[in-house]
A and B are shown apart, each in its own frame.
Chain A
Amino acid sequence: MKLDKYFYMFSLARCKHPGCTSYTFNGGDYCYHHSPDKDKIKRIVVSALKNNLLVRDFTIAAADFRNMTMRKGQRISGVNFSFCVFDNCRFENTQLLSTYFDFCLFNSCSFTAIDGRYSVFSGSTFINCSINDSMIIHSNFMGIETDSCDFSGNDFYYSNFSLSKLMNTSIEDCNLKRTSFRSSITKNVSFRFSNPEEAYFRKED
């Protein structure tokens, strides 16, 4: 695996709004939700996702991103998108490093040729989405729900899909070595040309 010198990290400073424990947008005083100018922050983030080669170091929780095509070859590193909604968004040749998409909703989104490492998708819902020809290793998909998805042609080495609910989903031609599907529910899921025998399905595995 090649050395990556582009690991960044969003600020762990907490929002100053009374009672709010969310992380601030980028080390300032407030989180996205309590920021006095939410629209401006959203515009900055949308513009960065569409145009910048490097997107890094911020938290934007519970925002919605619709009908967007991210810049090809983009590197997203150390970004926290918890509880966001992505509707009809396309990620192509994107590098995802330490990026958090936990408890997000992805609807009709595509991820193609992604290089993802140490990223988190736990608790997210994927509807009519595709992840293809990607390497998403050491990543956390615990508790995800999928329906009508195509996750074929990927390397999911050491990623964790435990307690997930996978429906009508194709996980074909994938590397599943050390991938965990413990306690997951699968219905109409195809593992054709993959190596589920090297994955973990039971707690005892």
Chain B
Amino acid sequence: MRIIPHFSAEGLSNVYIISDNKRNGILVDPAQVDKDTLDMIESYCDNLVAVLITHKHQSHTAGLGTLLKIYNPTVYAFEGIINGYKTEQFKDGEVKRIGDVDVKALHIPGHSIDSLVYLIESALFTGDTLLSGSIATCGSFVERALLIRSIEMKLMCLDDSTLLYPGHGAPSKLRIEKMLNQDLLQFESENRAFTSP
């Protein structure tokens, strides 16, 4: 399996193309479909079989319409419709066989109610949920607490060497985030201060 990151100037997002051992292509978050994106799909994949949407914000989905005019992949998301296109829905913890890989979806609400993180082998595609050094922005303290709780319950239990491919910024590993993610460290310290006698 190969994972090819591509920086989209639209929303400063990362688009990922996953090419499995049979050269089936999976695209994560079609933020922008430009010539480079198409060149990468053509270079690394024989057949684009799926699009995974981490959440419905435009900085991660704006290129979906263009992509669907060219290819015929199945679109996977938490919600049933993205930008007017029907999707195949993922539930929390559900595993689907896509191409030659198993894709597991983890529902991590907080940044948006439909935020999914996809686990493929040992690679996590986190969208805006967990970034290198920070977590997503949230609309309220409640959503932030929900987000952190979900991250701790569903992501931090994974192996330290799990690779992290966020929707924005540099890649990382879970070990690095456990040690150095400022938002998680701050929440932990606040929580400790709040609960200690």
B-contacting residues of A (Cβ < 8 Å)?
Answer: 1, 3, 5, 7-9, 12, 14, 21-23, 78, 82, 98, 100, 102-103, 117-120, 122-123, 138-140, 142-143, 158-160, 162-163, 178, 180, 182-183, 203
Contact = CB atoms under 8 A, between A and B. Distances in A.
A120 B176 contact: yes
A163 B182 contact: yes
A122 B180 contact: yes
Looking at chain B's contact residues, the main secondary structure is mixed
Interface stretch (B80-88, B146-154, B167-175): B167-175
Interface stretch (B2-10, B58-66, B68-76, B104-112): B2-10
B182 A140 contact: no
18 contacts: A5-B39, A7-B3, A7-B4, A7-B44, A8-B2, A12-B163, A23-B161, A78-B2, A118-B5, A123-B180, A139-B170, A143-B176, A158-B169, A158-B170, A160-B133, A160-B169, A163-B133, A182-B133
B1 interface: yes
Contacts of A3: 36, 39-40, 43
B5 A142 contact: no
A140 B176 contact: yes
Given A1-B7, A3-B39, A142-B133, A118 B176 contact: no
Looking at chain A's contact residues, the main secondary structure is loop
Given A3-B36, A3-B40, A100-B173, A140 B132 contact: yes
Contacts of A159: 170
B170 A118 contact: yes
Contacts of A139: 170
B138 to A, nearest CB: 15
Interface string B172-197: 11011001101000000000000000
Contacts of A120: 170-173, 176
Given A23-B161, A142-B133, A98 B171 contact: yes
B172 A140 contact: yes
Contacts of B40: 3, 5
A3 B169 CA distance: 18
B161 A9 contact: no
A140 B170 CA distance: 5
